[in-house]
Amino acid sequence: MIDIGDHAPEFTLPKAGGEAHNDIEPFELSTALGGGPIVLAFFPAAFTSGCTAEMCTFRDSMDRFEDLDAAVYGISVDLPPAQNVWIREETLNFPMLSDWNHDVIHDYGVVLPEMYGQFEAARRSIFVLDETGQVTYRWVAGEGTIDFGAVVDEVATAVEETANG
């Protein structure tokens, strides 16, 4: 798994913007770098209760990230059209990246190997990158109940330190 101080692995993924079912365009991490901190929030699957709670907590806190010129991206193995539906249903105000071929979850070392005992998905984890792509913060979910409000607060603090640091 990549760690604080590592350079984030480069990737290109489909980006779901949520405006329509076919609101999909390529996203290159290298192109996004340089405009402020980047938050990569990996989650197992759209439409599940825990993932919806996590992404809605980010949604409700987006002003904190925007004030720091930070970009937030959710990443899952869901296909982009499904992500677009979910974005619209939950009024999410940031895009989703589709790692449908599972390369990025392997590159970042955040594979949840047996979601529902059936298939590989992203392990709930968050990385903050500085403008050069260096990882300045990493959080990986452990066992038990997660206080998403506290996690997003911690991520926002890490983004602020990255932006000012």
Q: Is the pLDDT of residue 14 over 80?
A: yes
- Average pLDDT of the chain, as a whole number: 92
pLDDT-based confidence at residue 123 (cuts at 50, 70, 90)? very high
Query: Closest Cα to residue 129, out of 29, 26, 58?
Result: 29
Q: Is residue 56 flagged as an active site residue?
A: no
Superfamily of domain 12-164: Glutaredoxin (3.40.30.10)
Q: Six-digit token pair at 87?
A: 């974005």
Q: Is the pLDDT of residue 53 over 70?
A: yes
Parse the chain into domains and list their residue ranges. Answer: 12-164
Give the model confidence (pLDDT) of 18-44 as tens digits.
998 899 999 999 999 999 999 999 999
96, 46 Cβ separation under 8 angstroms: yes
Q: What pLDDT does residue 152 have? A: 87
- Mean pLDDT to the nearest integer, 85-93: 97
Kindly name the residue from 13, 51, 122, 155 that is annotated as catalytic: 51
112, 28 Cβ separation under 8 angstroms: no
* d(C-alpha 153, C-alpha 162), whole Å: 14
Tell me the whole-structure pTM to 2 decimals: 0.93
Locate all alpha helices (DSSP H) within the chain, ordered by sequence.
29-32, 49-60, 62-66, 80-90, 103-107, 148-164
Residue 125: partners with Cβ closer than 8 Å, 6 or more residues away:
41, 42, 108, 110, 138, 139, 140, 141
Q: What pLDDT does residue 147 have? A: 84
Percent of the chain, pLDDT > 70? 97
The two most distant CA atoms of the chain are separated, in Å, by 43
